[in-house]
């Protein structure tokens, strides 16, 4: 157990869910500190019936912290993680900054838990679109070795923060009222629209969000031979990312086998009855920690292909829950 823990970015959307999860999961600690930028420092947070003053994120703030769970923008994580490490504090970091550092394990606890134990002071949690996909890939990779993945994402506005969710509501209302639609968070109006760009242009026509899905997947499985072809799309959904995933395996996996493999995997729930109109949808997965899978079917275009639909709450399993689960692995290993 870690006596003194901190949440860094405690006032943000993911920070708020991390706080809820520590209560829901009865996370063990003796003292808790909430850290945030100078703008939010001094505000109060009610936690377990007590008022806590949010402290400013400074190097000295880590003087007596043993474990920090961070959800901050990348430039903030770049600075604060070394401050924490220098003071002997272990960090579970939700940002993108440390994920591809070769000295930093990138962990989804249901997929590569052992990697967390080889940390040197910081463990990264993957991007939300990667997390749900690798969780779904895990049992198929073990059973049939995945060679190739083609994935199209349908990513909710909450992936762009509270401002993204607000922009969906405001721009939809404006469009319905025939008023001019303003877009600030997204490059185009998200109301009644799809935007086939998340992140900046990164590599040969692929965006930064898409290349995260390539590189993070290979790192988590420790296998650069897994080929990933992603298309990431922002959709007018408030919360929960959906993904259409096609995997090609070395050894054929039938639909019945896949259904059994998914159902037996911790963290996955299967909802798959097309004739009854039952499959995962964002509206039903909001607030749940599971990754939901449905529409499991054989690929009609290649021999060992399996197609399915995957939905997960990007703020929970895609961010807060995964980070707290990593912290739980550390607690378990410190006993």
Task: Pick between residue 129 and residue 321 the one whose CB is nearest to ligand 2RA.
Answer: 129
Could you give the C-alpha distances from 303 to 244, 247, 248, 250, in angstroms and in order? 18, 11, 8, 10
**Which listed residue (89, 119, 128, 240) is catalytic?**
128
285: buried, middle or exposed (CB in 10 Å: 19+, 13-18, 0-12)? Answer: buried
**Residues in the annotated binding site:** 11-14, 39-40, 99, 155, 158-159, 180, 234, 314
Q: Are 56 and 36 in contact (CB under 8 A)?
A: yes
Residue count of the chain: 335
Give the number of other Cβ atoms within 10 Å of residue 120's Cβ. 11
Q: Are 78 and 57 in contact (CB under 8 A)?
A: no
Q: How far is the CB of 226 from ligand 2RA (least distance, A)?
A: 20
CA angle 186, 288, 34 (to 5 degrees): 70
Nearest 10 degrees: Cα torsion 68, 74, 79, 83: 10
Q: How far is the CB of 198 from ligand 2RA (least distance, A)?
A: 5
Q: How far is the CB of 318 from ligand 2RA (least distance, A)?
A: 7
Task: Pick between residue 141 and residue 212 the one whose CB is nearest to ligand 2RA.
Answer: 212
Task: Pick between residue 137 and residue 198 the one whose CB is nearest to ligand 2RA.
Answer: 198
Q: DSSP 3-state helix, strand, coil percentages of the chain (rounded to 5)?
A: 35, 25, 40
Q: Are 158 and 13 in contact (CB under 8 A)?
A: yes
Which residues form the interface with ligand 2RA (CB under 6 A)? 127-129, 155, 159-160, 198, 209
Q: How far is the CB of 242 from ligand 2RA (least distance, A)?
A: 12
Q: How far is the CB of 155 from ligand 2RA (least distance, A)?
A: 4
Task: Pick between residue 209 and residue 272 the one whose CB is nearest to ligand 2RA.
Answer: 209
**Residues in the annotated binding site for substrate:** 155, 234
Task: Pick between residue 6 and residue 237 the one whose CB is nearest to ligand 2RA.
Answer: 237
Task: Reply yes or no on whether 119 is catalytic.
Answer: no
Q: How far is the CB of 232 from ligand 2RA (least distance, A)?
A: 8
**Which listed residue (89, 119, 241, 285) is catalytic?**
241
- 90: enclosing H helix or E strand: strand 90-93
| CA–CA dist 128, 224 (Å, integer) | 20
**Residues in the annotated binding site for NADP(+):** 11-14, 39-40, 158-159, 180, 314
Cβ-closest residue to ligand 2RA? Answer: 159
Which DSSP symbol is given to 54? P
Q: Are 234 and 155 in contact (CB under 8 A)?
A: yes
Strands 305-312 and 55-56: unpaired
| CA–CA dist 312, 129 (Å, integer) | 9
Q: Quick one: tokens of 222?
A: 């420790």
**Residues in the annotated binding site for phosphate:** 99
- Say how far residue 172 (Cα) sits from the centre of its chain: 26
Q: Is 286 helix (H, G, I), strand (E, B) or coil?
A: coil
Task: Pick between residue 70 and residue 159 the one whose CB is nearest to ligand 2RA.
Answer: 159
Task: Reply yes or no on whether 241 is catalytic.
Answer: yes
Residues with catalytic roles: 128, 241
């Amino acid at each position: 157990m870690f006596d003194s823990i901190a949440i860094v970015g405690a006032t943000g959307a993911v920070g708020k869910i991390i706080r809820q999860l520590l209560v829901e999961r009865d996370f063990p600690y003796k003292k808790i500190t909430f850290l945030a930028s100078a703008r939010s420092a001094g505000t109060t947070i009610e936690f377990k019936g007590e008022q806590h003053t949010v402290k400013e994120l400074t190097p000295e703030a880590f003087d007596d912290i043993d474990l920090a769970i961070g959800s901050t923008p990348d430039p903030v994580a770049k600075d604060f993680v070394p401050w924490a490490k220098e003071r002997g504090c272990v960090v579970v970091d939700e940002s993108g900054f440390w994920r591809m550092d070769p000295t930093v394990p990138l962990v989804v606890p249901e997929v590569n838990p052992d990697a967390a134990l080889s940390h040197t002071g910081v463990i990264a949690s993957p991007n939300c679109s990667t997390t749900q996909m690798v969780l779904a890939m895990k049992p198929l990779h073990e059973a049939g070795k995945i060679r190739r993945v083609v994935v199209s994402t349908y990513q909710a506005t909450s992936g762009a923060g509270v401002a993204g969710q607000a922009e969906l509501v405001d721009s939809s209302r404006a469009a319905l009222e025939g008023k001019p639609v303003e877009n600030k968070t997204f490059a185009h109006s998200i109301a009644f629209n799809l935007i086939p760009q998340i992140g900046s242009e990164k590599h040969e026509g692929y965006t930064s969000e898409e290349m995260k899905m390539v590189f993070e997947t290979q790192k988590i499985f420790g296998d650069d031979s897994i080929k990933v072809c992603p298309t990431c799309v922002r959709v007018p959904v408030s919360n929960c990312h959906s993904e259409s995933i096609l995997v090609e395996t070395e050894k054929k996996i039938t639909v019945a086998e896949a259904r059994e493999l998914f159902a037996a995997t911790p963290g996955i729930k299967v909802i798959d009855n097309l004739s009854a109109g039952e499959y995962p949808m964002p509206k039903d997965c909001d607030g749940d920690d599971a990754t939901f899978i449905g529409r499991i079917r054989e690929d009609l275009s290649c021999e060992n292909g399996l197609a399915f639909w995957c939905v997960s709450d990007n703020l929970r399993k895609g961010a807060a829950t995964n980070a707290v689960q990593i912290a739980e692995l550390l607690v378990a290993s410190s006993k």
